[in-house]
Amino acid sequence: MNRTSTNNDIVKYIYNELEERETLKLNFKGLTEPRIYNEISSFLDIKSDLDLCFETPSDMIINSIKERVLVQKREKTING
């Protein structure tokens, strides 16, 4: 396994896309190579941080969208 493929595997690993066999290999590498361990743990930290960035639209917009759904359905029913 060369360095580039290990780097790509780490990215896949943190997003749970690495195949089981490769995951086991990377787990082992993580235990024996500090660089791999540090890379995985720092990327997992960033992944958690990224979850903080979820945004919520205002209630006003959501209510307006829901209202629009109702109006559209009503119009459709009237127009057949």
Partner 1 sequence: MLKTELSDSCLVSLYTKGNNEAMSVLIDRHKSRIFTTIYLIVKDKYIAEDILQDVFIKTINIIDNNKYNEQGKFLPWILRVAHNLAIDHFRKEKRNPKITLPDGSDIFNSLRFSEDVSDSEVLSKSTKDHLKKIIKSLPEKQREVLIMRHYMEMSFQEIAEATGVSINTALGRMRYALIALRKKIKQKQVAYE
- Asked if 3 is part of the footprint of partner 1 (rule: CB under 8 A), the reply reads no
- Torsion, Cα of 50, 6, 24, 34 (10° steps): -80
- Give the shortest CB-6-to-partner 1 separation in angstroms: 11
Shortest reach from residue 74's CB to partner 1, in Å: 9
SS3 string of 46-80?
HHHHHHCCCCCCCHHHHHHHHHHHHHHHHHHHHHC
Which of 10, 22, 23, 29 touches partner 1 (CB under 8 A)?
10
Q: Out of 1, 7, 24, 37, which residue is the one contacting partner 1 (CB under 8 A)? A: 7
Q: Show contacts with partner 1 in window 20-79 (CB under 8 A).
A: 42-43, 46-47, 49-50, 52-58, 61-62, 64-66, 68-70, 72-73, 76
Asked if residue 35 lies in contact with residue 65, where contact means CB atoms within 8 angstroms, the answer is no
